A and B are shown apart, each in its own frame.
Chain A
């Protein structure tokens, strides 16, 4: 076979064909680039060696093993291991396919290069080129591996579990296997199982109300305090600022647990103080009546969260150019007008992405609910669903996973949260400067 290449660019098809047949073949045969060629060829050989076990794992991913009631537990098929291995292998295959595509692309561009210069690359040139190009790959490798293993694979796993019957009591490995059930879990949670469906609707609505209320109260609470600190011109403002920062500085687990104890119905110091003062006769069930507990959650969260937004708005206000204020003052704007038409719109515009981030954070604000109320008090459907009156979706996921072992429902809820939140992330992404200027 002729391995001398024409320099007029007419053999691109041939290069592409050989590059597609076996990774690195064109590099070795025609382009005489042995460094790259050997690397690509070795990658493919390693892949081929492991191909049988890869295929076995992929088959396992599809079947999730078969029930073997007569075999000792240790030797039975473990569907969950199969599922995870299958997903990891899928990720490996995806990376292999990407490398394959890159090898074909590289062969084509190297051929163009050859047509232009008219000579093959020397081994030394090739080495230095590869060394230069390998820096970004090596630099990204740790991040990519970590994200794949601990973020993407668990994510895909959750999505997959949402379509299986992985749940207590009858489908928990290693005793039993798990099977694919299609959309059954979604159907059950969204309608066919009445208790679960109503529980889900209740928790989902409360989650949205909670996230909205928590974000709005903290944002405006922080904004108002920041504006008052700045505009009031009182001498000891810095002293008050230090006090107002304290809730942000205390770790949130500590502050939530402290509030939980302070608000305790019968022993809590707040109720005891109010009774001593003679303001109330009976104890107030701060955390044990559903409606009141929800309000208390939002208020305690305001206590813990307004400092952050206070700092944020103060920072934004100091960063606003002084020229604007100067100009407004010269035009005769009153103090209030400056605040209303210049400061507030600017602050609002600039903190918008952070408001959205805070909203998504509050939807997932596990700590604020779990440590304050633990999701309690119980309501009508709590005996079946475990979801209490103040449970938000994430704390419910936690209970479903840890206590009830209903992994399938927990995954459905996780998928729902993801679908609801992804657009917010994309919206924020599109607002960034890098995206607008077309850099990425």
Chain B
């Protein structure tokens, strides 16, 4: 028995070593960003290789809010994210309900095409999207970008919500129908609330995606007052200039809410991921 314990503690020691090594790799760039955000230098070359060795300053944060359009980028991105999330939820859940509960012609080919369309990266058709937006006056507007995002979100999300709704018992809507409820009432007052877990998930994923998308904002938004965060932050570390510390400060402000949210919701994510895989 004692011998067994010895092996066990050696194992534990090895696992600890591995975990500490991985943690070091994971944390190194993150700690570096935090220290760069507060260090007085400007470019990546001037940042000390030992984190926090250069001293402490908040001047990059002040610069972001006084000398750049950072607040504006932030608001634009927030507006885009909220609109994308809300419209995606509305359209996807409604069509998912129709796919889940009604029989109609062309249902199978439509479902099949949803799944095939979802693998096609939407920016491959960017020339066409550019011309279409040009024709409907959506270039250089936030709503044009929202339209593009929503359309890209619909195929996969509709499929996902539909799979979830298939697992909701049909007795629920039968009963409501006998009581004389209309289709829309059944959807909005019975199915939608029951499908809340998947719809929350959908809302969160479609809310987070626009924050860091780069290609479509680059293509659609031209004027400086319509920029988004990703465009602005990328501008700090483009080939022409390297303001790594300002970039780090700006990134920190965006990343911190994300990180807090992820850490708080990790338990829920583990179960929902497991559920999603098992439901196959």
**Residues of chain B in range 142-186 having any CB-CB distance to chain A below 8 Å:** 147-148, 150-152, 154-155, 158, 163, 166, 182-184
**Residues of chain A in range 306-349 having any CB-CB distance to chain B below 8 Å:** 311-312, 314-319
Chain B neighbourhood of A140, CB < 8 A: 94-95, 98
**Could you tell me the distance between the alpha carbons of A98 and B155 in the complex, rounded to whole angstroms?**
21
Check A351 against B124 for contact (C-beta < 8 Å): no
Chain A neighbourhood of B237, CB < 8 A: 257, 260-261
Per-residue A-contact encoding for B35-52, CB less than 8 Å = 1, 0 else: 000000001110101000
Binds A, one of B57-65, B68-76, B192-200, B255-263: B255-263
Chain A neighbourhood of B270, CB < 8 A: 311, 314-315, 318
Per-residue B-contact encoding for A148-175, CB less than 8 Å = 1, 0 else: 0111111101100100000000000000
Check A319 against B277 for contact (C-beta < 8 Å): yes
The yes or no answer to B244 lying at the interface (CB within 8 A) is yes
Closest chain B residue to A232, Cβ basis: B15
Best-surrounded residue of B19, B123, B163 (most CB of chain A within 10 A) = B19
**In the complex where A146-B147, A414-B124 touch, is A303 in contact with B266 (Cβ < 8 A)?**
no
Chain B neighbourhood of A269, CB < 8 A: 32, 44, 47, 49
Check A151 against B155 for contact (C-beta < 8 Å): yes
Best-surrounded residue of B15, B119, B122 (most CB of chain A within 10 A) = B119
Other contacts beyond A149-B151, A247-B26: 11, CB < 8 A: A135-B184, A140-B95, A249-B259, A250-B259, A257-B237, A257-B247, A266-B45, A303-B26, A318-B271, A364-B121, A426-B116
Check B280 against A254 for contact (C-beta < 8 Å): no
**Could you tell me the distance between the alpha carbons of A398 and B151 in the complex, rounded to whole angstroms?**
20
Check B151 against A249 for contact (C-beta < 8 Å): no
Chain B neighbourhood of A431, CB < 8 A: 280
A-B contacts, CB under 8 A, total:
280
Chain B neighbourhood of A150, CB < 8 A: 122, 129, 132, 147-148, 151-152
**Residues of chain B in range 63-120 having any CB-CB distance to chain A below 8 Å:** 91-92, 94-95, 97-98, 102, 104-108, 111-112, 115-120
B98 to chain A, nearest CB (A): 4
The yes or no answer to A245 lying at the interface (CB within 8 A) is yes
Check A253 against B234 for contact (C-beta < 8 Å): yes
Check B151 against A147 for contact (C-beta < 8 Å): yes
Best-surrounded residue of B121, B150, B263 (most CB of chain A within 10 A) = B121
Q: Which of A136, A253, A259, A353 contacts B214 (CB 8 A)?
A: A253
The yes or no answer to A397 lying at the interface (CB within 8 A) is yes
**Residues of chain A in range 98-127 having any CB-CB distance to chain B below 8 Å:** 98, 102, 105
Binds B, one of A14-22, A35-43, A199-207, A417-425: A417-425
Q: Which of B44, B119, B158, B274 contacts A143 (CB 8 A)?
A: B158
Q: List residues of A whose CB falls within 8 A of some B CB.
A: 80-81, 84, 98, 102, 105, 132, 135-136, 139-140, 142-143, 146-147, 149-155, 157-158, 161, 225, 228, 232-234, 240-255, 257-262, 264, 266-269, 272-273, 276, 303, 311-312, 314-319, 350-351, 353-354, 360, 364, 366-367, 370-371, 394, 397-398, 401, 407, 414, 417-418, 421-422, 424-426, 428-429, 431-434, 439-440
A105 to chain B, nearest CB (A): 7
**Could you tell me the distance between the alpha carbons of A158 and B30 in the complex, rounded to whole angstroms?**
40
The yes or no answer to B22 lying at the interface (CB within 8 A) is yes
The yes or no answer to B226 lying at the interface (CB within 8 A) is no
Chain B neighbourhood of A314, CB < 8 A: 270, 273-274
Check A158 against B274 for contact (C-beta < 8 Å): no
Per-residue A-contact encoding for B13-34, CB less than 8 Å = 1, 0 else: 0011011001101110110110
Q: Which of B119, B129, B135, B263 contacts A360 (CB 8 A)?
A: B119
Chain A neighbourhood of B184, CB < 8 A: 135
The yes or no answer to B6 lying at the interface (CB within 8 A) is no
B192 to chain A, nearest CB (A): 12
Chain B neighbourhood of A243, CB < 8 A: 23, 26-27
**In the complex where A155-B125, A312-B277 touch, is A255 in contact with B158 (Cβ < 8 A)?**
no
**Could you tell me the distance between the alpha carbons of A328 and B114 in the complex, rounded to whole angstroms?**
42
Check B105 against A102 for contact (C-beta < 8 Å): yes
A82 to chain B, nearest CB (A): 11
A414 to chain B, nearest CB (A): 4
Check A249 against B262 for contact (C-beta < 8 Å): yes
Closest chain B residue to A397, Cβ basis: B124
Chain A neighbourhood of B280, CB < 8 A: 350, 353, 431-433
Chain A neighbourhood of B25, CB < 8 A: 303
Check A136 against B233 for contact (C-beta < 8 Å): no
Chain B neighbourhood of A136, CB < 8 A: 98, 102, 104
Chain B neighbourhood of A250, CB < 8 A: 30, 255, 258-259
Chain B neighbourhood of A425, CB < 8 A: 115-116, 118-119
